[in-house]
Amino acid sequence: MTAPYDALAAVHAAAFASAGPRPWSAAEIANLAAARGGVLAVDAASPVRGFALARVAADEAELLTLAVSPTARRRGVGAALLDAVIGRSAAAGATRLTLEVGAGNEAALALYRRAGFAEVGRRSGYLAAGPDGDALIMLLVLEPNPSI
């Protein structure tokens, strides 16, 4: 049952190989995508270059992961996936989207800031020891988008 998610697990492992968190398995991705409120956006290229996974509960959404293959970075893949999650979350009734990102992940921080996210908190040492191991909590207020 996880076969379609094997490629996503491989992208996740490659995307976070040097970042520290344990990569997600195909089964974990499949379960989160299938769960109530799951929002999955997958790059349509073959092979898959990236995916984003979020969940919506009531009027809140949380971006659980956004993974782009290292060979596909800086080509708009992450921005397109983030836009898809934002639109689908708003269409599902979410009025806010939150995420956590490593304080030292400058590329991701730039992407999220360009999309309008603002830092609203910090978890010191959440990802690893030292300031780069802090997790920043970011928030985007969503506009209703019933057309998606």
Instruction: Count structural domains, the chain.
Output: 1
pTM score, whole prediction: 0.89
Range of the domain at 95: 3-141
3-state per-residue secondary structure call for 89-117: HHHCCCCEEEEEEECCCHHHHHHHHHCCC
Task: Report how far residue 54's alpha carbon sits from residue 80's, in angstroms, rounded to the nearest whole number.
Answer: 14
| CATH assignment of the domain containing 33 | 3.40.630.30
The rounded distance, in Å, linking the Cα atoms of 141 and 110 is 17
If pLDDT is split at 50, 70 and 90, which confidence band does 21 have?
Answer: low
The answer to whether residue 133 is domain-embedded is yes
Chain centroid to Cα 15, Å, comes to 12
- The span from the first CA to the last CA of the chain, in angstroms, equals 28
Q: Read off the pLDDT of residues 27-38 as tens digits, 9 standing for 90 and up.
A: 999 999 999 999
